[in-house]
Amino acid sequence: MAGKIIADTLEHSTAGSLTTDYVVNGSAKSWVNFNGTGTIATRDSLNVASLTDIGTGNHEINFSSAMSDVNYSRSTHMQRENTTASYANIDGSYNNDTYSTTTLEVRTVYMNAAASGAVDSPIVSNQIFGDLA
């Protein structure tokens, strides 16, 4: 590709230097922001081919460029839709949920003093860090 720079170190005039390993290993390899309510829809993303709506509070993210293994790191945020106070909004998974190099299952769950359960969220965002295949 045109404009290629090959460098092992980036050096700032006063703030010191940084090896490009930090950039390569520390960059998100996939991210997505989507509406998990109604007929779900992606707002914006990188390296995502599709989403699968599996059920209430349960979605799969399908990657375009596969990860090299399943030891990648994920983080997810969800926003609760209604005004009921929630003490925690959680992304979790079960043992048998999909967790492959091309697909990741994400669950959005709420928990407060009165109740807990799966819930659809108007804003779900997810990031993946790790090595690409």
Partner 1 sequence: MQTPDFKGTHLWDRLCWAKENLDGVQSDYRVVYEDSIDECAKILVPDPNWMACALQGGILPPVWVYHELAKDEASEGFKKHTRGYLLHETQPIEAMTEEEAIEYLIMKDVPQSVWQEWDSGNKPKMVICRKDQLPQTREWRNAWRISDELAA
In sequence order, the β-bridge partners of residue 119 are none
Q: Which of 33, 65, 93, 116 binds partner 1 (CB under 8 A)?
A: 65
Give the interface segment with partner 1, choosing from 15-23, 46-54, 87-95, 122-130 (CB under 8 A): 46-54
Q: Which of 33, 53, 90, 127 binds partner 1 (CB under 8 A)?
A: 53
3-state secondary structure of 52: strand
Task: Output the CA–CA distances (angstroms, integers) from residue 71 to 10, 27, 50, 76, 99, in the order listed.
Answer: 28, 16, 21, 16, 10
> Residue 33 interacts with partner 1 (CB under 8 A)?
no
Residue 101 CB, shortest distance to partner 1, in Å, is 6
According to CB under 8 A, which residues from 70 to 99 bind partner 1? none
- The type of residue at 29 is K
Under rule CB under 8 A, how many of the chain's residues touch partner 1?
36
> Residue 39 interacts with partner 1 (CB under 8 A)?
yes
The tokens of 20 are what? 């490009």
- The type of residue at 32 is V
Torsion angle of the four alpha carbons 16, 20, 26, 29, in this order, in degrees rounded to the nearest 10: 150
> Residue 66 interacts with partner 1 (CB under 8 A)?
yes
Residue 3 CB, shortest distance to partner 1, in Å, is 10
CB 65 within 8 A of CB 49: no
Residues forming the site for partner 1 (CB under 8 A): 1-2, 29, 32, 37-42, 44-56, 62, 64-66, 68-69, 100-103, 120, 132-133
